[in-house]
Structure 1
Amino acid sequence: MTTNAAEKLAAIKTAAPTGWERGNERIGDKGFGSTGAMEPGENADELRLLTKAGFDPKEWIIVGDIQYRELDANIGGGEIKTMQYRKFAVRRKVRTESGFEDLMADIRRRRWKPQAATGAGTFHLAQGDWQLGKVDGDGTAGTVDRIVASIDKAASEFRIQRKRGKPHAHLTFLGDCMEGFVSQGGKNAWRTELTLTEQLRLTRRLMLYSIDQFAPLTDNLSVVSIPGNHDEAVREPGLTTYDDSFAVDSLIAVQDAMNMNANSYGHVRTMVPQRDSLTVTMDVNGTVVTHAHGHQWRPGKHWDWWQGQSFEPGADIGKASLLLAAHGHHFMVDTKGARRYIMTPAQESESTWWKNKTGDHGAPGALTFWSEAGVTGGFTVV
């Protein structure tokens, strides 16, 4: 005759360690309970534990820590099974109209337990609006000093974060890395102190500097560059594609150089927009991120743009939980439901035209933060 699992479990109740047998004791509004034998993997939430010990979960709650013990039990037929036993103290629920006392008791009995690092987190360094070549504020020299300092600070922070379960690094260049000569129909040319090729060389060198600071620190480094409005190669409708950008070309050139040294850069993955696109949407180590410069929408209209881009069935942007952008020249975080919009500040010290028009001075810097499974936090302007 076959013995089912329930009968086997019942047969070993007598084998429970002394004091760990199933049962309960009640003294007024307090008491103690023991579950008796439980199989590994069996549901062990508070409702189940109270029921196993003979308490009505509607009347009682567990207070304090739950004691735990394992025992290898002979259940017959030469079969040995590891069983689990739990003991705990209980208190009768306080019946109040608001339930306030129950809430207070629930808070008091909770214990914070450190969570082990999962290794799934990602450290982000977001940079945008370098506008290299511009004379405004402290000029190109001041901007370069800030960029290098931001990269160095971010790399130092990553050394700490990777020990906390954030071993993946993600570098983003979010457009307008150079001033260019297409904005305002070229009217800003006289306020631009570098030639076009000098702006390009400086952009490429700073991109490579960013990568060089992070590549030795991780086995998983991803890098994205997207077009802005200042770094357009041509601003004549119909003459070129939307991805025709000096910011895109700069990272492609850096990748070509890195291909010649696979030992140092073989673990670095670069991404740029597909042909005729202004954005990159990708899974960054468990968080789907859309990278966009931000000139596609009017200020404050990022949700409208995101919703419109998501309308097409199967659109990658619709799968993103994070929209990462620049263009607005200041740090901003906005949330709607489970989605989050993040805008990084500019690295140029000021736009003199904007300052004279509005009185708004720049607050330059780059942005660091972390993401894990769609959740973001730890925002710091460096």
Structure 2
Amino acid sequence: MNIDALKSLNTPAPTGWTPGVQWDGEQGFVTTQPSADPDTPRDERWDEVLQRFGLDPERYMVDGPVRHSAWDVPGSGVQHSHRAKIVERPERTFDVEDLLDTIWTDVAYPDNPRAEWRTIQIGDTHLAKGALDGGGTDKLIARWQNSVTEALGLGDHYEGIHLAFMGDLIEGEVSQGGANIAGNDLTLTESLRVARHLVSWTVQEALKVGNEVIVSAVGGNHGQTTRVQNRPHTDNHDIDVVSAVQQAFELSGLDERITWYYPEEGANHVVYEVGGTVFASTHGHTFKGGPVAGAAKWWSGMCASNRPAAAAQVLMAGHFHSPVIQNFTSDKWICFGGALEDQSTWIHEQNGTTSKPGMLTYVTRDGEPFEFSIV
């Protein structure tokens, strides 16, 4: 065989990149045919790929990150192939695009300045938790928007709005060893997309009534990326959602009146100042011994070891799905926010527990919170 014939031979794709579908009845992968196009296929292109391999795009969809492989074929240039996870589309009575459209509504607020800061604790929203499990994303979106607009409309124009994103913004796919996935009405990527829209909308609404806006984010247990092995607390979808929104505001030049706070790498709480009041924020899943007793023990330890949280006047937390306000000491307050679901079906079937859906909001001035309300 001469050299020209050798050059004309196709170089096989890398091992594991054979075009086609692998499906085990619950999940699988689809790999595209090699081509000279390096671009990742869009949704409609994936639908064509699935259809070509015998999967109905109405029933199956691509979810999660897409892997890309490239290799050189002598005489034909670089060839590209893409590999993506496929899942069954969740059963639901709504369309995701329609839900996103409902988020962006115009709301008018009063315009009488106040010298205080308003805090809204936004956590345990569990977007993608299905109706049978006590949620329903369409209901959770409506409750999120109603809570925010009511909180921002309780008073007048404020010195500033403090938005504390307390974790568990999405239901995620790690709870109960992943068993909760069956009850989700959004895929992971869809839930993250909806969460980013809602956080972005919330920040924009806050800018309408506050001279300044302070945003913080901590990670919840449902926002964890995996439980297969231990990961840093900051490797969390909740933090990534808010960080992506920050990037969007910075790129659009709309962040001049916004300050953003996140935990230090590996930490699961953050401490910062809001208009003369020092806050410590954490999700609360690391507390042992119940909400108030666990928070008090955690905070006492922080104070005893002179950690930054010792300087806080308000400790914010979530996780327990019930609003609790405790005057810890004369100048320190423990504030647990609520959840957007009215019950966790799993817990309700064990002991009948329900909860009032809503967000905890209050006003602070010179280190003291007041005017508490669940909206």
TM norm structure 2: 0.66
**2:148 alignment partner AA:** I
215-224 or 324-333, larger mean C-alpha shift:
215-224
State the shift of 1:310 in Å: 2.6
CA contact (8 A) 1:120 1:286 kept: no
Q: Which residue of 1 aligns with 2:328?
A: 336
Q: Which residue of 1 aligns with 2:117?
A: 122
Residue-by-residue CA offset, 1:329-363 (whole Å, 9 max, x unaligned): 01110112221101111012220011111111121
Residue-by-residue CA offset, 1:75-127 (whole Å, 9 max, x unaligned): xxxxxxxxxxxxxxxxxxxxxxxxxxxxxxxxxxxxxxxxxx99652111111
* Local SS of the residue matching 1:265: coil
CA contact (8 A) 1:234 1:244 kept: no
Matches within 5 A, 1:167-316: 167-238=159-230, 240-262=231-253, 264-298=254-288, 299=290, 300-313=293-306, 315-316=307-308
Quote the Cα distance in structure 2 between the aligned partners of 1:141 and 1:336.
Answer: 37
CA contact (8 A) 1:287 1:321 kept: yes
State the shift of 1:156 in Å: 1.5
Quote the Cα distance in structure 1 between the aligned partners of 2:340 and 2:175.
Answer: 18
Q: Which residue of 1 aligns with 2:109?
A: none
* Local SS of the residue matching 1:187: helix
CA contact (8 A) 1:143 1:349 kept: no
Q: Which residue of 2 aligns with 1:374?
A: 367
State the shift of 1:364 in Å: 0.5
Q: Which residue of 2 aligns with 1:134?
A: 129
CA contact (8 A) 2:287 2:294 kept: yes
Quote the Cα distance in structure 2 between the aligned partners of 1:318 and 1:348.
Answer: 32
- Percent identity between matched residues is 29
State the shift of 1:217 in Å: 2.3
State the shift of 1:183 in Å: 1.2
Matches within 5 A, 1:309-324: 309-313=302-306, 315-324=307-316
CA contact (8 A) 2:129 2:135 kept: no
Residue-by-residue CA offset, 1:110-159 (whole Å, 9 max, x unaligned): xxxxxxx996521111111011111123511111110011111122124x
State the shift of 1:206 in Å: 0.6
281-290 or 213-222, larger mean C-alpha shift:
213-222
Residue-by-residue CA offset, 1:197-231 (whole Å, 9 max, x unaligned): 01110111110110111113222110111100000
Unaligned runs of 5+ in 1: 1-116
Aligned CA-pair RMSD: 1.7
Question: Which of these two proteins has the greater Rg computed from alpha carbons?
Answer: 1
* Local SS of the residue matching 2:215: strand
Quote the Cα distance in structure 1 between the aligned partners of 2:309 and 2:227.
Answer: 25
State the shift of 1:250 in Å: 0.6
Residue-by-residue CA offset, 1:271-330 (whole Å, 9 max, x unaligned): 1111001111101111110001110113132100111123323x1101111101111101
Q: Which residue of 1 aligns with 2:47?
A: none
Quote the Cα distance in structure 1 between the aligned partners of 2:268 and 2:361.
Answer: 23
* Local SS of the residue matching 2:267: coil
CA contact (8 A) 1:324 1:341 kept: yes
Matched, 1:154 2:151: yes
Quote the Cα distance in structure 2 between the aligned partners of 1:344 and 1:282.
Answer: 18
**1:267 alignment partner AA:** R
Q: Which residue of 2 aligns with 1:5?
A: none
Unaligned runs of 5+ in 2: 1-111
Quote the Cα distance in structure 1 between the aligned partners of 2:355 and 2:210.
Answer: 33
* Local SS of the residue matching 1:205: helix
Quote the Cα distance in structure 2 between the aligned partners of 1:274 and 1:138.
Answer: 32
* 1:119/1:139 CA distance change after superposition, 3 Å: closer
240-249 or 303-312, larger mean C-alpha shift:
303-312
Quote the Cα distance in structure 2 between the aligned partners of 1:266 and 1:168.
Answer: 13
Quote the Cα distance in structure 2 between the aligned partners of 1:138 and 1:183.
Answer: 15
* 1:270/1:230 CA distance change after superposition, 3 Å: same
* Local SS of the residue matching 2:319: coil
Matched, 1:347 2:337: no
**1:155 alignment partner AA:** L
* Local SS of the residue matching 2:304: coil
CA contact (8 A) 2:113 2:159 kept: no
